[in-house]
Every structure is written in structure tokens, then in C-alpha cells.
Amino acid sequence: MKWFVVRESETDERYGKCPEDRGLNELLRFGVVNLDKPPGPTSHEVVAWVKNLLGLSKAGHGGTLEPCNGAG
Amino acid sequence: MGRGNPKVTGVLPVALEDAVKLIGYLMLSTKEYVAVMQLHKEVDLSKVREVLEMFKGRIYQKPPVRSSVKRALRVKEVYELELIEYEHPYALIRVLCEHGTYVRKLIHDIGDVLGVGAHMRELRRVRTGPFKEEFNLVRLQELSEYVYLWKERKDEDKLKKAILPAEYMVSHLPKVVAVDGAVSAITYGADLAVPGVALVHEKIRKGDHVAIFTLKGELVAVGIAQMHTEELLQSKKGIFIKTKRVVMSRDVYPPSWKKRKE
């Protein structure tokens, strides 16, 4: 998509950080894994597994992938 | 006929911690599947092609009995429906469809129209919104291996590469970039006003969900556009984006009202 510059503006390097410069701990707090769901477990079970593996307090999936639905 | 449960695999984006807030924007995105349809009797290849053609575009679907939504007839759009291969009894198809389209039901209905019956044997999601099979797809097994390397060998490289910044979850939404001075107020729930806009995507329509970024590319919040891009470009004041969901912490950028006092 095309961008329009509305006003020239500079960013103060003292605050914030480019997403590419984030460390592992920052990614674990605000990241996403493009996971290949294996056959067998439900989407919910897969998320619980990832949550435990990474030692997180919260995790969630973006749309179920289940045999009974076959869509999300 | 022994059917059992179909094998279901593929793209399942898993959001970590604060990224969970963005899940709603993924659910409404376009999905792409590759499915194995098992036909209950042999039919001509031309007939299969002809019937698939009928299921392109807007279709009516009644959600299956075992589903999480109300079982009312719904209209869903099938953007693309392609027969990759048919070797009886299996037909391999590719479906690009609106969110909430039941592929299992679609296949059942195709079988009915073919007059021989059919069911879904296997399903693989190859895309949901910006998440694609070809880009950084990670298997559970691999993730487990990367966690082992991180914890036991102090090597975090592979795990780091497997986790995408949460910004990726809204990469299918139109974007606006706010000036530094406007960021803090947005994290406190304020709307993005016209003077706070540095850059903007073309073709934003009033009512669109728009992702608000910083000049460094960090996601601040997602909101609803209150005017078209063209209108914004001609305005000096007014609210451009009504803030709906804030994801950035409040302490990252300094509040501009404090700065003024200095």
C-alpha cells in the first residue's frame, strides 16, 4: 500500500525500540509463533502446550483449526 | 462407511502474552486451505470441475451440529476454489475463503450436488491473514528443540528467529504512523487526532480498522478510522482514529504534557 507523508517528523532515539531489535524476553512478552498444528491435538491443546513450553502466563491462537469445524 | 476424524493440520498462529490482545484481528482474516475430498462414487473429471465452479462466490452455509456458533444459515464468500488433482476416490482441492467458512460442510455440499456424496478426509490450512505456510512456519518438535537449546545450551538464536514481533499480526490492516508526541496519550486511551499523524496509508475508508504505529515501527494501538485518507490530507484538526485496543505499555514514550513543562 502507498504511503502519504502528512508531516515531516523525527523520532527520539531515547524512547522505544525498533521491533527487529527486541531481545528474546521482549519477544516472549509480545510475539507470535507461526505454528504448524500437528494432527491429533486440538488447537486449544496445542496452545496450552506452547504456553507451558515457553513458561508463559498467557497465550492464545488466532482462529481454531478443528476437524468438526474445519474452519475458523 | 468408516470415516473417523479427518486429519487437520497447518497454520495456527499462537500469540504470546500481550499479543493475545490482537487475536481478534486475525480471526476475521481470509483463510486458505488445501483439502482432500473423498468421493463416495466415481464421477467424470469434467463434472467435478463443473460443480466446483458452482461453489465459487457467495454461498449459503448452515453451521454443522457440533459447532461453536448459532446454527442459522450464513452467507460466506469462496474467493477461489481449484481442483488440483482427482484420482478416485480422492480429489485434492484448494480453497480461498472468508473467515468462518466451514470447509467440511463445503465438501459435504459439493458431494450432494455431484450426486454421489463426499466427505473431508484431510485438511491443511496454508494461510490465515498474513500468516502463510511458506513464511517462518514452526513445528512443535522444532519449537521444543529451540527451547532446549536456549535453556540447556544458552543458545537463543533459533528460538528468537521462531518468534515474530506481534506487529506481524496486524500486517494485513491499513496503517498510520503517529508522531512521538502523540504516542503516550494514545497508550492512555486518547484518540489519534489529525496533528498527531506523520504518515498514512492511502485508501483508508471511514470505519476501517487501522493499526497505529510509531516512527520506529512499534505497534501502539488499533482503532477505527473516523475519516477517509483524502479527508485527513485536507484537514488541520479533528479525530482521525478512534482508539479501540491499546497494546503498548504506558511508560515507553514520555507524555507530551510533561515535556512542555520542562
All structural domains of chain B: 30-132 (3.30.70.3190), 134-164 (no CATH), 167-251 (2.30.130.10)
In chain B, whose CA is at the least distance from the CA of A57? B17
Which residue among B20, B140, B198 sits closest to A49, beta carbon to beta carbon?
B140
CB contact at 8 A, B6 and A39? no
B38 to chain A, closest Cα gap in Å: 15
- Tell me if A65 is assigned to some domain: no
DSSP codes joined into one string, B194-247? GGGEEEEETT--TT-EEEEE-TTS-EEEEEEESS-HHHHHT-SSSEEEEEEEE-
| pLDDT classification of A69: cutoffs 50, 70, 90 | low
Q: Which three cell numbers stand for residue B98?
A: 472468508
- Residue A33's domain comprises 20-54
How big is the A-B interface in CB pairs under 8 Å?
Answer: 254
pLDDT, mean of residues B168-175 = 96
Domain assignment present for residue A44? The answer is yes
DSSP 8-state secondary structure symbol assigned to residue B20: G
How many domains are contained in chain A? 1
Yes or no, beta carbons of B197 and A39 under 8 Å apart: no
Confidence check: pLDDT of B179 > 50:
yes
Whole-number Å distance between alpha carbons of B92 and B85: 5
Q: Do A69 and B9 touch (CB under 8 A)?
A: no
Q: How far is CA A27 from the centre of its chain?
A: 9
Is the pLDDT at A31 greater than 70, yes or no?
yes
Task: Specify if A67 maps to a domain.
Answer: no
Q: How many CB atoms lie within 10 A of CB A34?
A: 22
Q: Which band of pLDDT confidence, cut at 50, 70 and 90, is reported for residue A1? A: confident
In the predicted model, what is the mean pLDDT of chain A? Answer: 91
> At residue B208, what is the residue type?
D
Taking 90 as the threshold, does the pLDDT of residue A59 lie above it?
Answer: yes
**Rounded CA gap, B124 and B213, in Å?**
33
Q: How much is the average pLDDT of B84-104?
A: 96
Q: Is residue A71 part of a domain?
A: no
Closest CA to B196 of B238, B257, B250, B149: B238
Helix, strand or coil, per DSSP, at residue A6: coil
| Nearest residue in B to A29, CA atom | B17
Annotate B99-162 with DSSP letters as a single string: TT--HHHHHHHHHHHHTS-EEEEEEEEEEETTEETTSS-EEHHHHHHHHHHHHHH---HHHHHH
Cross-chain Cβ contact A9/B13 below 8 Å: no
Q: Is the pLDDT of residue A67 over 70?
A: no
User: Are B17 and A38 a contacting pair at CB < 8 A?
Assistant: no
Q: What is the pLDDT of residue B4?
A: 64
Work out the angle at residue B190's Cα, subtended by the Cα atoms of residues B185 and B193, and round it to the nearest 5 degrees.
Answer: 95
Are the beta carbons of A33 and B138 separated by less than 8 Å? yes
Residue A41 lies inside a defined structural domain of this protein: yes
Give the mean model confidence (pLDDT) for residues B118-136.
96
pLDDT at B2: 46
pLDDT of B262 higher than 60: no
Position A28 in a domain: yes
Mean per-residue pLDDT of chain B: 93
Chain B CB contacts of A9 below 8 Å: 179-180, 198, 215
Taking 50 as the threshold, does the pLDDT of residue B261 lie above it? no
Q: Does residue A1 lie in a domain region?
A: no
User: Using alpha carbons only, how large is chain A's radius of gyration in Å?
Assistant: 18
- Give yes or no for B190 touching A (CB within 8 A): no
Candidates B96, B125, B30; CA nearest to A38 is: B125
Provide φ and ψ at B83, rounded to 5°.
Answer: -90, 115
B251 pLDDT exceeds 90?
Answer: no
Note whether residue A24 is domain-resident.
Answer: yes
Residue-level pLDDT at B224: 98
Confidence at residue B163, expressed as pLDDT on a 0 to 100 scale = 98
Asked whether the bond before B174 is cis by omega within 30 degrees of 0, the reply is: no
When pLDDT is cut at 50, 70 and 90, the band that residue A72 belongs to is very low
- Cβ-contact B6, B122 below 8 angstroms: yes
Tell me whether 0.90 is exceeded by the ipTM. yes
Which residues, including other chains, have CB under 8 Å from residue B214's CB and lie 6 or more apart?
A: A11, A16, B177, B178, B180, B183, B220, B248, B253
Residues 9 through 28 of chain B touching chain A, CB cutoff 8 Å? 9-20, 23, 26-27
Taking the CA of residue A53 and the nearest CA in chain B, the distance in Å comes to 7
As a whole number of angstroms, the distance between CA B198 and CA B221 comes to 15
pLDDT confidence bin for B258, thresholds 50/70/90: low
pLDDT score for B3? 59
B256: pLDDT strictly greater than 80: no
Contact (CB<8Å) A36/B123: no
Q: Which three cell numbers stand for residue B232?
A: 485527513
Grid cell 466415481 in the structure block, residue: B42
User: Average pLDDT in the B187-211 region?
Assistant: 97
CB spacing of A28 vs B162 below 8 angstroms: no
